[in-house]
Amino acid sequence: MQTFDTVILGAGAAGMMCAIHAASKGGRVLVVDHAKAPGEKIRISGGGRCNFTNLGTTAKNFLSANPHFAKSAISRFTQHDFIAMVDRHRIAWHEKTLGQLFCDNSAKDIIEMLAREMEQNGCELRLRTTLETVTKNESGFTVALGGDGSARIQCTNFVVACGGKSIPKMGASGLGYQIAEQFGLKVTETRAGLVPLTFGEDILPHFREMAGVAADARVSCGKTSFEEAVLFTHRGLSGPAILQISSYWREKQPIRVAFLPRDDVAGQLMNAKRQNPRQQIATAIADLLPKRLAAYLTQAHGWKGNLADASDKKLADVAATIQGWEVLPIGSEGYRTAEVTLGGVETSDLNSKSMEARNVPGLFFIGEVVDVTGWLGGYNFQWAWSSGWAAGKAI
């Protein structure tokens, strides 16, 4: 039987961050992962450049049954703390848009930074290693590992950092939820988040014709809106505004897409009518929107004739449709392409300061496995860093 102070399941963003801080006070820390390399999601994130945090991170950027839960960790290990760590390692970065910070070079810089700090703090990493069983005993946990790092281990703390269900091809397993249930913690309903939305055959052929068209829009579902780009694809709608709203969308709910969200479209059409009364409505719209999108909206709504023949009321209606296009998704692309899993280990069963299970001393849950999900834009990694730090400090 080998002994460690802390065993961490999952060498992803949260697990590695936790390991560094749990080991920094001298504790013996083992991180196990069934993948062949640590931080695989970091590697592919942000188009290979890792959108590692967001300058504007606050608890408002997260979805959770308890909107206050994330506050403690996020305010104690902030985006600025992570930026300071990145700077200490001389990793060059830039702000792209909306406070989103990316590596100049490669996401691998972030993985190397975490791996280096783990090594400096004496953490052991066992890859291609699976968890067979974990059971509680009087002095902590007995952990049976299989695969390359196979062993029986006694540890005081057991940290679940094995992420959610998104992208099973990359090793997502959902095991964290089973461990939570095994120890009597509740798990809220889980579903795919930050994911493209899919549509039925009534409208999909038109989307296919527009595949590749992108337009700025304000996309709303219920009371929530995001203003970013929408992208038409062969399967439906994607782009940042759609990924953002997907986390709020529920089946059978329509979404509203306001193209040209900041423009006075009615005013622009009326202006065009004054200046060029013989212009076709379709041509006037094509001056405002990408051509294929303008052609689709014109045909779908039967906007015919020239501007002179259209009353100002009709032009106002056309503008209202362009800025209030309603569509009904039939689903999402699911975990296959989702960036995150919504829902997870119920926060009321965890201490928000330490991420420790309220009723199981020594058992911790961090990162995506917890019912805290960020918006698109670096917030999910910030949650991984902050929650990993909080548990590491508490151990």
Summarize as ranges the residues that interact with ligand FDA (CB under 6 A): 9-15, 33-35, 40-41, 44-46, 50-51, 130-131, 161-163, 166-167, 171-173, 175, 339-340, 367-368, 378-381, 384
| 76, 78, 84, 86 alpha-carbon torsion, rounded to 10° | 120
Label residues 135-152 b or e (16+ Cβ within 10 Å = b): eeeeebbbbebeeebeee
**Tokens representing residue 19 in the block:** 């390991």
Of 296 and 379, the one with the shorter C-beta distance to ligand FDA is 379
Give, in order, the Cα–Cα distances in Å from 367 to each of 348, 351, 374. 16, 14, 11
Smaller CB separation from ligand FDA, 323 or 347: 347
| Number of other residues whose CB lies within 10 A of the CB of residue 105 | 13
Nearer to ligand FDA, 185 or 289 (CB): 185
Closer to ligand FDA at the Cβ: 116 or 336?
Answer: 336
Q: What is the DSSP string of 181-243?
A: HHTT--B---EEES--EE--TTTHHHHHHTTT-EEEEEEEETTEEEEEEEEE-SSEEESHHHH
Q: How far is the CB of 162 from ligand FDA (least distance, A)?
A: 4
The angle subtended at Cα 136 by Cα 5 and Cα 176, nearest 5°, is 85
Give the CB-nearest residue to ligand FDA. Answer: 12
CB of 67 to ligand FDA, least distance (A): 18
Region of residue 318 (left: phi > 0; alpha: psi -120 to 50; beta: else)? alpha
The DSSP code sequence of 64-127 is -SSTTTTHHHHHHS-HHHHHHHHHHTT--EEE-STTEEEESS-THHHHHHHHHHHHHTT-EEE-
Two structure tokens written together for 36: 């062949």
Nearer to ligand FDA, 16 or 210 (CB): 16
Closest to ligand FDA by CB, 40 vs 356, is: 40
Q: Nearer to ligand FDA by C-beta: 173 or 268? A: 173
Shortest distance in whole angstroms from residue 287 CB to ligand FDA = 35
Least separation, in Å, of the C-beta of 94 and ligand FDA? 14
Integer Cα distance of 36 and 19 in angstroms? 18
Q: Of 91 and 175, which has the nearer Cβ to ligand FDA? A: 175
CB of 34 to ligand FDA, least distance (A): 4
Cβ 216 to ligand FDA shortest distance, Å: 21
CB of 105: closest distance to ligand FDA in angstroms?
15
- For 2, the token pair is 């080998």
For residue 340, the minimal CB distance to ligand FDA (Å) is 5
